[in-house]
Structure 1
Amino acid sequence: MGDKYLGLSELNLEGQFLGFGGDESGKPKYLHLGIPSGNLQIKLPKELRRSLGLSLVPGEQVRVCGVSQLNIYTGEVKLKAHHVSPIDTCPNSDLPSLPPAKIMVCQKSGCIKRGGKGLLSELEKTLCDRGLLDKVQIEQTDCQKRCSSAPNCVLMLGKKKYKKIHPEAIASLLESYLNTDHPCQEE
């Protein structure tokens, strides 16, 4: 959605599926969700559109996980889903799984001199303490071209990148990201 959007929060909504909204071509682009306080329009990523169009029935209760984002110029809030599933059922195996999480830590001399080795070991320790080390790929990279903000570390969750983030925050974001993949385990 570009740099004009600021991430507000993660979404975990339950409500009644009202139908799809589309663009001028008639293809489903949005999911309409009825919740007690009103109706919401939530953008669907392309990989979810086909599978949901075949599996959801209007009136069905669903859980939607995603993010809310604020347009910093207009003040408009947009909602975007990354997982939709019927309530009381496990996700259909036909639905695409979440892309793997990846952490890239710069290990060039500038970052190492400014704490890159310590950042990497603290990150590994924090993830190990929370049981997340085997659920994420940690990659030691060459220069990330951001030497003025060394040591550099980038967390990639799907298509979203997080920069200048502390290991505890990385672990929390990673836990939240991985838990949305299996909503049946929350119960």
Structure 2
Amino acid sequence: MSQTTKTPIQCTGTLLGFIYHEGTKLKYLRVTVEGREYWFKVAKDLRKTLDSQIQPGAMVLITGQQGRSLQTGILKLKAETVTLAGANATTHPAPTAKSTAKTKPATILVCQKSSCRKRGADQVCQVLAAEMRDRQLDHITIKPTGCLKQCKQGPNLVFLPERAKYSKVKHHEIPDLVDKHLAPTASRK
């Protein structure tokens, strides 16, 4: 996490899956915390010692660091320890999305590769554009993008700078997602 402000973090969530670099190197954990998806970069020493019982669907307790890039305002999360959370585990709060640094305006990435388009990405883009127009959020960019590496889970969206990722998005879910991520500025007119 170069050029970031770092603070310790501890949170409990459900492991959604693993992201590998070059097919074999564990790079990120996809975790849902309080209904939002986050990607935690796995510390190098943890990659080799991660408990094999930690599998998708398991409740996990993650401790590590959260930081925000001073240049882009993007939230970066790093997992230093990951343990199974017991049935009686205390829930810990989600990473904070608040920024003390000046951030760029929000951007919404929408995958436009053929697999996502077949599953409705074009309609999702149209509904997003209509929501931005109806709510007078012209400063928010909707950016068509290439593959987001979740082809069979399309259509896929990413809300920046939070990096909140959503798969299998349906057009009728767009107003709720806009409320969730852009609520302070997105009141309905």
TM-score category by the smaller chain? 0.3 to 0.5
**TM-score, normalised to structure 2's length?**
0.46
More helix by share: 1
Larger Rg: 1
**TM-score, normalised to structure 1's length?**
0.46
